[in-house]
Amino acid sequence: MERGQDDFLAELNEEQRKAVEATEGPVMIIAGAGSGKTRVLTYRIAYLLKKGIDAFHILSLTFTNKAAAEMKERIIQLMGSDARNLWMGTFHSVFARLLRREADKLGYPSNFTIYDSDDSKTLIKSITKELGLSDSTYKASSLLGRISSMKNMLISAEMYANDPQYQSDDRAARREHFSQIYLTYNKRLFKSGAMDFDDLLYQTNILLRDHPDVLLKYQNMFRYILVDEYQDTNLSQYMILRQLAARHQNIAVVGDDAQSIYAFRGANIQNILNFQKHYPDTQVFKLEQNYRSTKTLVHAANQVISKNKDQLQKTVWTSNGEGEKIQLMRGMSDTDEGRQIAQSIFDFKISGHAANSEFAILYRTNAQSRSLEEALRKLNIPYRIYGGISFYQRKEVKDAMAYFRLAINPHDEEALRRVINYPKREIGDTTFDKLIVAAADNDISIWMVLDNLKDFSLGLSPRVSERITEFVNMIKSFAAMVPNYTAYQLGDYIYYTSGIKRELEQDRTPEGMSRVENIQELLNGLKDFSEKPLDEGIIPTLSMFMEDVALLTNEDRNKDDEKDHNKVLLMTIHSAKGLEFNYVYIAGLEENLFPSQMALTSREELEEERRLFYVAVTRAKKQAVLSYAISRYRYGSPQSNEPSRFLEEIPAECINNLSYREQASEHVYSRTPSGYRGFTAPAKVVPPVSIVGKRLVSMNKAAQTSLPMDNSHLSGLKVGARVEHERFGQGEVLSVEGVYPNSKATVMFANGEKKQLLLKFAKLKIVG
């Protein structure tokens, strides 16, 4: 093979190299698990740059912002800092950026707000309420789900309303008002100057469709398009790509049909299965050699996935060693399952000299993390939940950010709803309802009503009107400051001026203190952002900071905290895509949990669950350990389970049957909801919060994601602490139990009365 100036491709195998060098025309790279897909993408971009293509002309779409950042870093290492101009990121972040540039063409302000799913749901709830519909038949989450899938199929509210098929479906399903909700929802978003997640893709499609000049501009800009995880694209994304690539046809997609796991959010596996039909001149490359896993793991995964019908032909193989058999563990309960997994990690750490970071525990649902965390904590194994609920979704953070949002775009209805009466300023629900009605009647945003209050006769008391004027003036004063101050200066000023600071700091309960810490962290983020060097004369404003905050996940936010490095990672299988670990544990392999009960209604759904299982197993390099629990607490009561059907699909020679350690734990034999099984839950349910020494040492997941593991921030509430209750006076904490934030404290008050207080509500001051 010739070397010379392409020497930097030396670390690629022949097929990978071909895939890198085929730069012109449509290219499909079918990349089996562990076949070096990321490497190919990275080198492909580097190779394009090397050929003299301007970074500005290359668009690379990845599945997470983190993946994009890592790839960019690597390319900069290879090719130098010109690579900074690459367009890289998720579909959502890249096209949000594009939409901000072109927003005026769609009638949006360029500083439009991006609603996250919470904002969307609240808006939908408000709409169904205004329409007088019952929220039990019209559930916000399922309405949003349907709206989302319509947008992803590029079906507008108007098209939907005029489609006889949809209309009769809706009548049959007793949701005949759906199209009205869809219409109103979109209208309200528009009036608010806001887009939801799906709009970012939908509106991009509209923009490119209706503005040929804009389309041409971006076709010529993005001469080379690369798409990772193509199997997980939906119709909306497919159409954007089709429009952008139509002129130069340099589109390279990388994917693995066996790893398509996002059908629930509109991903269409047909996109990859039919790529060659869409682009007849496609060159196809197959990367079939797996460099990651042992023969045993590759064989097991292959055998399981072969049960699926819809597949592209490929044979993943490896020249790696045979390796260990997959281990199967059986736990009596979820607690027991956790204990065994933690014990097993402990053992591997000793026998294999393995570091914490070599382990991952994967599960199907977030709710499963609880029992695993507890078990890890008991063995002092440090862990971190990867992904998980975003920092930016926390209530106090969203409240503060709602002020930021209003300063940038006062028409933002959801931000307004959040803070118009927070901190309390006597503008209650009744008043807000009147404002909504006035806004709807006049077809304007709520802000316009607020700002021109005297033009509307709403029957508000002078006192309330006065308070509204104060509020409006405050927001206006913030808005005026946006262009001239850094994000940190203004953020800090708003935190103080809005009264949030005073409000939060009043609350001296442990939870209240952690809320203050979270805002502190938000402000630190603003500070970092504000100190980032920019081009001369450009101020890093709050508006710039807020641009893509709604699109960030926890992983994007994390600084490389040294202490976060060597930890066992816990995550859902979905968020494990693209990652690899020496030791992978897959917990909860039970029928109805994995495969999920919800997914058992059709063959396609079951096949997606099987692909999920495939993804999970192929994350492992050395060893996979699978476990299931015979009985598991769900929603407060024990349920008995059958082992997952996927276990039986693993070839017998790849798995060692039930290598579980028999550990005597307190079990009783009794009835479970689905009958006698021989095993059930532990006799004694260990409460999720325990007192060790005098300290409260455990808490629930929501709190853990951002808080130190030793929970020292809760140390304010020690047993024995002196507290003061606003009604009952001083007392002493006798015990704390239950789960944060619903934990209950028993307090002995000075008058001899013993009270149990729900900490979520009780205003306790710590006085000693």
Partner DNA sequence: GGACGTTCTGTTTTT
Partner DNA sequence: CAGAACGTCC
Q: Which residues are marked as active site?
A: 37-38, 228-229, 259, 619
Specify the amino acid at residue 526: L
Comparing CB distances to DNA, the nearer of 138 and 485 is 138
DSSP letter string over 586-655?
E---BTBBTTBGGGTTSHHHHHHHHHHHHHHHTTEEEEEEEEEEEEEEETTEEEE-PBPHHHHTS-GGGE
How many Cα atoms sit within 13 Å of 248 on the Cβ side?
22
Comparing CB distances to DNA, the nearer of 273 and 389 is 389
Residue span binding DNA (CB under 7 A) among the ranges 78-86, 100-108, 615-623, 680-688:
680-688
Residue span 609-648 as binding mask against DNA, x where in contact by CB under 7 A, dash where not: ------------------------xxxx------------
CA distance to 64, 288, 526, 580, per residue, from 618 (Å):
19, 13, 39, 8
Comparing CB distances to DNA, the nearer of 17 and 370 is 370
* Size of site (CB under 7 A) for DNA: 60
> Per CB under 7 A, does 682 bind DNA?
no
Query: Helices 395-408 and 487-497, interaxial angle, to 10°?
Result: 110
CB-CB contact of 207 with 105 (8 Å): yes
Q: Round to whole Å and give the CA distance between 718 and 502.
A: 25
Residue 431 Cβ vs DNA, minimum distance, rounded to whole Å? 5
> Per CB under 7 A, does 197 bind DNA?
yes
Residue 435 Cβ vs DNA, minimum distance, rounded to whole Å? 12
Considering only residues 728 through 747, tell me which ones interact with DNA, judged by CB under 7 A: 738-739, 741-742
> Per CB under 7 A, does 510 bind DNA?
no
> Per CB under 7 A, does 312 bind DNA?
no
Q: Round to whole Å and give the CA distance between 558 and 565.
A: 11
DSSP letter string over 499-562?
SHHHHHHH--SHHHHHHHHHHHHHHHHHHHHHHS--STT----HHHHHTTGGG--HHHH----H
Q: Round to whole Å and give the CA distance between 252 and 285.
A: 11
Residue span binding DNA (CB under 7 A) among the ranges 347-355, 468-476, 579-587, 759-767:
759-767
DSSP letter string over 146-199?
HHHHHHHTT--HHHHHT-HHHHHHHHHTT-TTHHHHHHHHHHHHHHTTEEEHHH
Q: Tokens for 2?
A: 């010739």
> Per CB under 7 A, does 444 bind DNA?
no
Strand pairing partners for 722? 732
> Per CB under 7 A, does 489 bind DNA?
no
CB-CB contact of 648 with 591 (8 Å): no
> Per CB under 7 A, does 499 bind DNA?
no
Comparing CB distances to DNA, the nearer of 199 and 413 is 199
Residue 526 Cβ vs DNA, minimum distance, rounded to whole Å? 22
Q: Round to whole Å and give the CA distance between 359 and 580.
A: 9
Which of 243, 366, 465, 715 touches DNA by CB under 7 A?
Answer: 366
Residue span 645-674 as binding mask against DNA, x where in contact by CB under 7 A, dash where not: ------------------------------
Considering only residues 84 through 143, tell me which ones interact with DNA, judged by CB under 7 A: 90-93, 116-117, 125, 135-136, 141
Residue 263 Cβ vs DNA, minimum distance, rounded to whole Å? 8
Residue 702 Cβ vs DNA, minimum distance, rounded to whole Å? 5
Q: Which residues contact DNA by CB under 7 A?
A: 63-65, 90-93, 116-117, 125, 135-136, 141, 197-198, 261, 264-265, 364-367, 387, 421, 424, 426-431, 464, 551, 553, 572, 574-575, 596-599, 633-636, 685, 687-688, 700, 702, 726, 738-739, 741-742, 757-758, 761-763
